[in-house]
Structure 1
Amino acid sequence: MSVSRAELRRHVAARPVWLCRACGAPWPCQPAKLGLRAEYAGDRVGLAVYLCGLLHEAVADRLRLRPDEVDPAEFFARFVGWTRPWRL
């Protein structure tokens, strides 16, 4: 099954809860990750830097909404950890 780039672009974060507007999954959801990997195909470091900025924003949002529900390891894995080298 092939997914179009237009479909992948629909998977954006709804802030401040950081859930996907298209599928409701925690963002970045799987389709968002696929889109980001395609967009940053030649720049894995750039992707990680971009997501580090979003990680910072997501943690700040969570601290304002639910300070007792901030798990740094979970946020790192969700936003940045998956950007480690991927196999083709």
Structure 2
Amino acid sequence: MVALRVAVVVACVALVAWPVAHAMLAGLRTGRLPHTGNRAELVRSERPVGFWALMAAFLAMLALLGYGAVLGVQRALA
């Protein structure tokens, strides 16, 4: 039962973290950071401050998701 709880917590966090991490890696690789839809993107060469601000926001979101995952796993194991 504990393993199922841990698996559910990890799956829920991964469901949200995967697209965010994918967008960040694509942005670092190509210089175009997708956001809010299929066509919206920030280009690093055109708007560098906005690009890095959004990258920082995505990084903060991933950090909070990681923190939530740790708390969820700790609660599942308790």
Larger Rg: 2
TM-score, with normalisation over the residues of structure 2? 0.43
Q: Which has the higher contact order (CA 8 A, sep 6+)?
A: 2
TM-score, with normalisation over the residues of structure 1? 0.40
Which structure dedicates a bigger proportion of its chain to helix? 2
